[in-house]
Structure 1
Amino acid sequence: MSPLILECQKRPDTIAPIVCSTGQHREMLAQVLGYFGIKPDIDLGLMKPGQTLTGLTSACLLAVDEVIQQQKPDCVVVQGDTTTVMASAMAAFYHHIPVVHVEAGLRTGDLMAPWPEEFNRRVAGIVTQLHCAPTKRSADALLAESVPAENVRVTGNTVIDALLHTVEKQRSETESLAQKYPAAMADSVVLITGHRRENFGGGLADTCDAIAELARNHPETQFIYPVHLNPNVQGPVHDRLGGLDNIHLVPPADYPEFVWLMDRADVVLTDSGGVQEEAPSLDCAVLVTREKTERPEAVDAGLAELVGTDRQRIVDRVTDALASRSEKAKASATDTIINNPYGDGKASQRIADWMLERFAS
């Protein structure tokens, strides 16, 4: 959402953005807000230890309801597929406030994968007035659900706006970042992320076991794993991967640092939706530890591959990817970004223009 907030702030004569933070994952949130120079106008502070999805949903719904009553906005903008998105869209609907859904129309067709994100974005979609679809495929999914065509536009995804804003700057920071992440300067690097709820338990354990086997099989390759703060991730990752010399379990990297790590990586092993969109721009081999994805464009374009959480399959595909990467030099990131199926870096401009076109009067 950061690029869209910045775009709105560039238009003070026509748009008065009110930035509302739920306060979830505060440490990681503070990093990215600081990088983009964004200070929330409202901080709801909803995060509580051991909070259930039901508890979070109800707390978010009540808190956003109060904000809407106080601020009386012309529209409410939500992005993606989180519980916050669903609850905020519902609260806006109850007040007859139009909803703008950034990154709309992503679908797997399975309510349980990803869980609960597929449910969240479908609920948000029901009450949305402006569906900002990142790709034609996402737009077609919305049209197939009988969303009026005048309420759907292919805008591209703001994640590419953010990436373009960041990558060139971070390349100039290599000397200092190399001191923090010396393993990233190796000739062979695998970057790993994992945090999806549906992978908690057996799926994450099998993935970790695969990474451990790969590390033993490829001692020259450095495996860098910024470990999510969720205890369901921290426990099994440290239990299974701690102590191996070429596996580096590091705290969650802030956004610009993570972009730099992707830029250094030969292979990215991830269950993240955003990384599926970003990493192909930086010419990484992208292997997705999920059985289904709401972002099939990269898979269709041969820029990503679904490998699930089967231990042997992960070992085989990462091994193949490392072998393939060693045989060719990385292409320039600029060339790859231009061909990224998720956008050209101008999504935020298109979304702000559309909001003014629809709501300014």
Structure 2
Amino acid sequence: MHNRPVVLIVLGTRPEAIKLFPLIRRLNGDGRFEVRVCHSGQHSTLADPILQLTGVTVDHACAAMAPGQSLDQLTVAAMMAIGAVCDRERPDWVIVQGDTTTALVGALAAHYRKIPVLHVEAGLRSGDSHHPWPEEANRRMISVIAARHCAPTPSAAEALTREGVAPAAVSVTGNTGIDALRWMAAELERQPHLAQRMAALEQRFAGKRVIALTLHRRENIGSGIASVAAAVKQLARREGVAFICPCHPNPLVQDVLREHLEGLPNVALVEPLGYPDFIRLLAAAHIVLTDSGGVQEEAPTFGTPVLVLRNTTERAEGVAAGTARLIGTDPQRIVHEVSLLLADQDAHAAMARAGNPYGDGCASERIANLLADEVLKAKSGSLSLPQ
């Protein structure tokens, strides 16, 4: 028997590691809980350095990922592994974040055992089940399972209540990714050597305006990435401009980018950057081109305009605030939008000063207090799980 409620936190990818480490650290420092961390192994090479950097101990390391694995194979392997951890730990709560396969499976494994689920970053919606794919469907399914929904913004909370989630089960907490970013920025102030790779790249491109490029979405693999690369190739001919592209490890992403862009003097195709280097890149960049959801949240903190290489986004707050713009993957549109921000200082400044609508850096504290309230409800017998 445990003396305190056991909270099992399930993660497996780099974004989950980034957005959950502030909450893990907060709960570990809270005498009200016993915290266990389960790593599915979905993206170990990308997630592990984040956990090591931030001092997070993994209690259960699974090996769900295998080369050439399909989504259904990953789902089955992760389900078996995470389910076994749930049986071993018998947690009082399971916490999942976002919309990955790991998050869906973690919620489903808990649901099968009637363990309540707290969903961090709940309520994001693009409105298209194939964009992003499979994430849009994943997060919708988690919302059916979860007992407590921690929405990052009021519009995310409204999306949940429109779908029939009880308002009492939804709380606007802000985004834990902003907690993580602020922690990392403070660490870089104290330890600038943590971002040595970016320091070298900044020196290489001294005097140039840097454009950061990140691509990884499944729906862009193939023609989408090739179209983006064609636009970058054209833009890289401009004087005074440089591109830094941390390449996702997926060969279907890397191979296309290298085919089109390798060897161009103003383009650096680099291995994935560690979290400190990546935060420094966002701070140093003049513009960010990305299909990432997390980058849409992070870059506005540094006043860096975001051009989103997608046709839909579940982070509409940034578009509404003016920090981000949806531009898709058409090469002509990309060249036009980037050229506008390079040439028009007022257009750039309008996006740069729009501010960050995603949080104040206190989301983890709010979630910890919500969890404590739910534990008290469970003790009194007033907690009701989704039917």
Q: Same fold (TM over 0.5)?
A: yes
Q: What aligned pairs does 1:131-146 form with structure 2 within 5 A after superposition?
A: 131-146=149-164
CA contact (8 A) 2:322 2:350 kept: no
Q: In the alignment, residue 373 of structure 2 is paired with which amino acid?
A: E
Deviations along 1:134-188, one digit per CA (max 9) or x if unpaired, are 0000000000011001100000000000011112332451784423553454440
Q: What aligned pairs does 1:1-361 form with structure 2 within 5 A after superposition?
A: 1-11=20-30, 13-171=31-189, 173=192, 176=196, 177-179=198-200, 181-183=202-204, 185-216=206-237, 218-325=238-345, 339-360=355-376, 361=379
* Structure 1 stretch displaced more, 163-172 or 80-89: 163-172
Shift of 1:24: 2.3
Distance 1:342 1:236 in 2: 33
- The number of residues matched between the two structures is 355
CA contact (8 A) 1:184 1:264 kept: no
Task: After the TM superposition, list the runs of 4 or more consecutive aligned residues in structure 1 that deviate by more than 6 angstroms.
Answer: 326-331
Deviations along 1:3-32, one digit per CA (max 9) or x if unpaired, are 000000111x21111001011222211211
Distance 1:171 1:314 in 2: 34
Q: In the alignment, residue 356 of structure 1 is paired with which amino acid?
A: A
Q: Residue 3 of structure 1 aligns to a residue in which SS? A: helix
Q: Residue 19 of structure 1 aligns to a residue in which SS? A: strand
CA contact (8 A) 1:189 1:224 kept: yes
Distance 2:342 2:236 in 1: 12
Shift of 1:240: 0.6
Q: Residue 129 of structure 2 aligns to a residue in which SS? A: coil
Q: Residue 252 of structure 1 aligns to a residue in which SS? A: coil
Q: Residue 100 of structure 1 aligns to a residue in which SS? A: strand
Deviations along 1:97-128, one digit per CA (max 9) or x if unpaired, are 00000000000111011000000000111000
Q: What is the RMSD of the two structures over their aligned residues, measured on CA atoms? A: 1.9
Shift of 1:327: 8.7
Q: Return the TM-score normalized by structure 1.
A: 0.94
Shift of 1:325: 4.6
Distance 1:71 1:324 in 2: 57
Q: In the alignment, residue 368 of structure 2 is paired with which amino acid?
A: A
Q: Residue 123 of structure 1 aligns to a residue in which SS? A: helix
Deviations along 1:214-244, one digit per CA (max 9) or x if unpaired, are 001x132110000000011011011111010
Q: Residue 124 of structure 1 aligns to a residue in which SS? A: helix
CA contact (8 A) 2:323 2:356 kept: no
Deviations along 1:39-82, one digit per CA (max 9) or x if unpaired, are 21110011100010000011111111111111000110000110
Relative distance call for 1:24 and 1:289 in structure 2 (3 A) is same
Relative distance call for 1:327 and 1:97 in structure 2 (3 A) is closer
CA contact (8 A) 2:42 2:102 kept: no
* Structure 1 stretch displaced more, 180-189 or 263-272: 180-189
CA contact (8 A) 2:340 2:347 kept: no
Q: In the alignment, residue 193 of structure 1 is paired with which amino acid?
A: T
CA contact (8 A) 1:164 1:345 kept: yes
Q: In the alignment, residue 370 of structure 2 is paired with which amino acid?
A: W
CA contact (8 A) 1:184 1:265 kept: no
Shift of 1:329: 7.7
Q: Residue 249 of structure 1 aligns to a residue in which SS? A: strand
Relative distance call for 1:284 and 1:245 in structure 2 (3 A) is same
Distance 1:345 1:221 in 2: 33
* Structure 1 stretch displaced more, 36-45 or 265-274: 36-45
Distance 1:325 1:43 in 2: 49
Relative distance call for 1:184 and 1:258 in structure 2 (3 A) is farther
Relative distance call for 1:186 and 1:261 in structure 2 (3 A) is farther
CA contact (8 A) 1:90 1:127 kept: yes
